[in-house]
Structure 1
Amino acid sequence: MKKYPGVSSMLAVYRRELLSYLTTPTAYVFVAVFLFAIGLFTFQVGGFFEERRADLLAFFTYHPWIFMIFLPAIAMRLWAEESRSGALELLLTLPAPTWALVAGKFLAAWTVAAAALLLTAPLWITVNILGSPDNAAIFTAYIASLLMAGAYIAIGSATSAMTQAQIVAFVMAVLISFLLTALGTPLVMDFFSGVIGGGVAEGLARFSLLHHFDAAQRGVVEFRSVFYYVSLIALCLGFTALAVDARRGG
């Protein structure tokens, strides 16, 4: 690691940030409420047992909408809390490149989201007990859900770096996430089709997180969807780095 000081710094920030999640109620409350919410939507709203199908469509359908609220709540503290407490000035004096700080914090929050997803595995096991699901399709949907979670966290990271108030960062992230999610809904697409034409409306829908997640729910792996999520994460982390550099005076 001595040859790659940036990687060492990133891992140090990652461990520090993950430890801060584990030593405060934040991560535990998030995971508990997330599991409750996803269970409520899957069983009560989605009618998991009533459908009598050996798949997790009712489970994955609500991921974008639940992530849209819960993941900005996890990400809002990444930079805003540091700025409010004064710890950001100390962090920025470290001999570490900005990208290492940004990546370390992002990966820590993404790890918490991944842990929450992992804890839903008993539902996957239950489906296999009740029937013979397409496990490859379910695995694909889990990977797509994890990538989508990373995108929502990256959006929250960017808004958190732009303000010192966690609530402001949260509201901004939810609004941006809602716009990027709602673009792929039939209601919004129909509206734009009537105003600017179907071709343009379909083009706008391709910028939606929901649009790229729909195919994954059916077990279809599309390179363009993976590219979309990775690009959105990179873009938001780039904005985060610019905002942090502005505070760093660099």
Structure 2
Amino acid sequence: MRQTLLIFNKEFKDYFASPIAYIVIAIFLAFAGWLFFSTFFLYDQAEMRRFFDMLPFLFALLVPIITMRLFAEELNTGSYELLLTLPVTLRDIIFGKFLAAVAFVAAILLPTLFYALSISWIGDLDWGVTIGGFMGALLLGAAYAAIGLFTSALTRNQIIACIAAIVICVALAMLDQMLFFFPPPALDVLTHLSANAHFKNIAKGIVDSRDLLYFFSIAFLGLYATHLAMEDR
């Protein structure tokens, strides 16, 4: 665990060593805030539901940008071979990088608590539902981060890694909205595979073990696939 934390500290600090991290956070907060508050007063309801409704798609575009460099950059520069000479296992490396990406997602979400505080000042905000929404957002970000880590392990090109992760994450986010393209027997299975459907349940304050199992399963499969990809290299 000590080696994992060392990798985590290095990767998390690297995010903030570049101005790109601050640009990503600023763009996300500005774009999400504008989309949310531009219609907030039209509905005249003190709730965060519309903000959380946007997150599966916004995160599908944002999280791959966060994760695209984690392995692709090291494979391209050759620093990965140097990393393997250190007393760390492949599992330590993967899990440390994954935790750093999830922590950065949490850092992006942290300023959005101001949205909730602002709403609570002007109305009666249901904090139970709001906390459930933020918890679901973190689980969603973790699942997307595992997918992004996997695509980053497949290629030396960060752009290709980013595009591949965006395609997968957007597909998971929009799957429940494209059910009319599929035959009725497949609808239940596809709905269960939709990240948006599971996230909406948690965002409503309903903590169902099936939704938690879904996000943990996606994260586990992403990390396991990453391990196989890097082990093959």
- What interval of TM-score do these two structures reach, taking the shorter chain for normalisation? over 0.9
Structure 1 alignment gaps of length 5 or more: 1-6
Aligned-pair CA distance for 1:33: 1.1
**CA–CA distance in 2 between the matches of 1:237 and 1:70?**
19
TM-score by length of 2: 0.97
**CA–CA distance in 1 between the matches of 2:128 and 2:6?**
35
Whether 2:77 is the aligned partner of 1:85: answer yes
**CA–CA distance in 2 between the matches of 1:181 and 1:58?**
15
Between 1:123-132 and 1:161-170, the stretch displaced more is 123-132
Whether 2:190 is the aligned partner of 1:204: answer yes
CA contact (8 A) 1:37 1:66 kept: no
User: In the alignment, which residue of structure 2 is the partner of 1:39?
Assistant: 33
Counterpart code for 2:53? T
If each structure's helix is expressed as a fraction of its own residues, which one has the higher value?
A: 2
User: In the alignment, which residue of structure 2 is the partner of 1:3?
Assistant: none
Aligned-pair CA distance for 1:217: 2.2
**CA–CA distance in 2 between the matches of 1:216 and 1:91?**
38
User: In the alignment, which residue of structure 2 is the partner of 1:229?
Assistant: 215
Structure 2 alignment gaps of length 5 or more: none
Whether 2:41 is the aligned partner of 1:49: answer yes
What is the alpha-carbon root mean square deviation over aligned residues? 1.1
Whether 2:117 is the aligned partner of 1:125: answer yes
CA contact (8 A) 2:172 2:194 kept: yes
- Please state whether the residue corresponding to 1:147 is helix, strand or coil: helix
Counterpart code for 1:176? I
1:131-161 Cα offsets, whole Å, 9 max, x none, are: 1121101100100011001111111000000
TM-score by length of 1: 0.90
Aligned length: 233
Counterpart code for 1:27? A
Runs in 1 of length 4+ with deviation above 4 angstroms? Answer: none
Whether 2:23 is the aligned partner of 1:23: answer no
Whether 2:127 is the aligned partner of 1:135: answer yes
Whether 2:102 is the aligned partner of 1:110: answer yes
Aligned-pair CA distance for 1:26: 2.6
Whether 2:175 is the aligned partner of 1:189: answer no
Aligned-pair CA distance for 1:65: 0.7
User: In the alignment, which residue of structure 2 is the partner of 1:241?
Assistant: 227
